[in-house]
A and B are shown apart, each in its own frame.
Chain A
């Protein structure tokens, strides 16, 4: 489609999910999921104050569009980001803006950021809503605009603005939409619960996304251990009469849920380095994102709440909660029975890729899939890091087929060329190498540091190039001006010369005239 040459890899991409493949490396981890799946998803009560961060997505923070004291309705835009031509942050409930302050924002960096503080009025009153009822006839552009205006970002953890991703993909031509329900990190069960309880919304979201991007079929990938989910999604697909949606069970192996790994499992193909799944005609979206799309389009409900798994041995009654964005994590832990004794670490996300929070005052964000509270026994005690013994376990488990042991050495010695050459940029930061390392070297932290160095070096290089270009341009300009001046002087000289000849000529003709006169006389 779209004039793409029909090649063998494209056929494999089109056949996504018909035959399963393997990705390299990976870890079989204990799931720890059962503890949070025992009870249905509960709606979390609204807290006293909601702290809605203005930075909840990849890119620059949104700008507040409300002022202190202003009354807002549920779903009103309260902050907008024009970056990447995408999206807004919305009021999670009706109430009053009580402040716009710096507050912890559940960011991996641990830094604070601007939050809009909303005091709920308890009415939970929606703004005027305009559902797109006939979405099946709506123009893809209309759907994309709605996705953008509803502030939808990738809910699998990447929090990349969905509208931008979908629009970019549709311009490249997509034949297959992949919905990622392969929630491979231990402990996290919010997607599993969503698929169990709201399969119809997922299927609806799939059909809307399929239309928005122009795909012919959808593959919903779930893990083989999610028995109830398979049934639920299968029934939902039948109810919707969508013959072009397939539910595919993949083997549970971390990090299967990574976009690149899932594509490899479903198609046997690799996303080209520096490229995107769209290069293979594929678009990957998380199942929760699809649900958010369905709500945004058919009910005009922007993304103001999400399911959060609150789990771990550090909470008394692990469960999944449907929480308004901005709810302080402390409130969620309270709803999960409070902290168990010996709660030692608070993690946002899973145990492999999640980041630790210094305080439970951090709010729920669009990216917050899991609040994990761990006890001393569940984490590694602080211990000295030993030197690398080159055992190669890290390379064995690396899904990107990197040699983490070599990268580690290159980064520590500041050998940036070698680390780039050894594929530092291809690291997906899944943490498998970290987990396997017997010397307990924080490899992923080193790789993040290395990547930031590569980026700043590239930026330096860009600036240096720019400066050199400018300098060279100035040189040529000065040269040109000089040449110009020379030319002009020469011209003037020539003109003067001409003048001189003119004078001579005049003098000559005067002379001739005089002579004629004389001869006549």
Chain B
């Protein structure tokens, strides 16, 4: 008698990769950067990650349920966790809990699920969340404790947690002395007041090369990013385009006016540029999809970031740059299609 078999479509191979696997790799790659973050900014970073993740998963589950999608399957794709972690890394460590709440509400419900959920979003959800929070709560979102002061004030984990859950911006707590400007803030203020940049370089916000603490964090993100490249989780086009273009653009402005503009090293290692190059601009869903398109996308992110840093209204411009390039992505994809085999 003949034997019968179940049929299934080719390829007849065990799965090679999964969406959840890809997202988990991204999280692993973020780990060294997160550790550095905690080292310089205290345990608040971890609580922010935890809070954002909880809110993100909650909103994700609610949105999936409302849309009638299988909740279990999609919660396991880890995409909401990646969004939450990236957002949390951009939030000041002592920011009140409702920042994470608002951010994740906009990231998951508005930016992601209203556009069709995983794979459908036009904009990078983490950056939408960041920009909404930054524009709505500018004070709370810019209150970074100087790295030097964390140890000085001896803010333990419990105090940190209570501060975050207390729900009041750090500024209101009479800790004005504690919260201070980042290196990019200092550069901006200096540029606005016509002060030479060398004077700012002496401030406590600066370390050896660039922003104090930030320079190290950027280094660890670079390491994580290199690992993602090695594992082929991200393509090289975006990070290389971002970094090379940023260095070029920064060099040109710096050489033109070294008294006003920071050096390329400061630009690269301060703020979210490296994080953005490897972890944010590489979001496949909201970015470009062809190889050449990704080069254009990365270059655009770098140029817009630096234009905003130099002449815009915010000290760092990665989030705005990414969102602007998200808008341009479909157009770029349209004009950077590869030549198909056999076509002239």
Enumerate chain A interface residues (CB-CB to B < 8 A): 24, 29, 110, 260, 264, 270-275, 328, 330, 339, 343-347, 351-361, 372, 374, 377-384, 386-393, 395-396, 399-403, 405-406, 422-423, 426, 431, 434-440, 442, 444-445
Contact = CB atoms under 8 A, between A and B. Distances in A.
Contacts of A388: 119
Contacts of B341: 24, 260, 264, 270, 273, 399-401, 426
A272 B342 contact: yes
Contact of B10 (A24, A351, A361): A351
B3 A396 contact: no
Contact of A386 (B77, B287, B291): B77
B10 A352 contact: yes
A417 B40 CA distance: 55
A328 B2 CA distance: 9
Nearest to A448: B9
A15 B253 CA distance: 52
Contacts of A351: 10-13
Contact of B339 (A383, A390, A401): A401
Nearest to B5: A346
Interface of B: 2-19, 21-22, 70, 73-74, 77, 79, 116-120, 235, 284-285, 287, 289-291, 294, 333, 337-344
Given A345-B8, A361-B2, A384-B70, 7 more contacts: A110-B7, A352-B12, A353-B10, A379-B14, A392-B289, A395-B290, A399-B341
A263 B17 CA distance: 31
Contacts, number: 172
Given A359-B2, A386-B118, A393 B17 contact: yes
B14 A389 contact: no
Contact of A359 (B5, B70, B79, B291): B5
A343 B6 CA distance: 11
Nearest to B287: A390
A343 B4 CA distance: 11
A260 B343 CA distance: 13
The 8 closest A-B pairs by CB, nearest first: A387-B119, A361-B2, A356-B7, A273-B342, A423-B340, A351-B12, A438-B17, A400-B341
A116 B184 CA distance: 82
A243 B290 CA distance: 46
A417 to B, nearest CB: 14
A386 B285 CA distance: 13
Chain A residues touching B, majority SS: loop
Nearest to A428: B341
B162 to A, nearest CB: 38
A122 B116 CA distance: 65
A426 B119 contact: no
Nearest to A433: B11
B289 A435 contact: no
B337 A380 contact: no
B335 to A, nearest CB: 13
B339 A434 contact: no
A429 B290 CA distance: 20
Nearest to A377: B14
A395 B16 contact: no
B22 to A, nearest CB: 5
B13 A435 contact: yes
B339 A358 contact: no
A305 B80 CA distance: 57
Contacts of A442: 9
B22 A391 contact: yes
A481 B315 CA distance: 83
A395 B289 contact: yes
B12 to A, nearest CB: 4
Contact of B8 (A29, A260, A379, A403): A379
Nearest to A387: B119
Contacts of B9: 356, 434, 442, 444-445
B11 A431 contact: yes
Please indicate which of the listed interface residues A355, A380, A399, A445 has the most CB atoms of chain B within 10 Å of its own CB. A380
A437 B3 CA distance: 32
A240 to B, nearest CB: 35
Contact of B19 (A29, A361, A382, A439): A439
A315 to B, nearest CB: 12
A270 B342 contact: yes
B118 A390 contact: no
Contact of A392 (B13, B14, B19, B284): B284
A281 to B, nearest CB: 16
Nearest to B233: A391
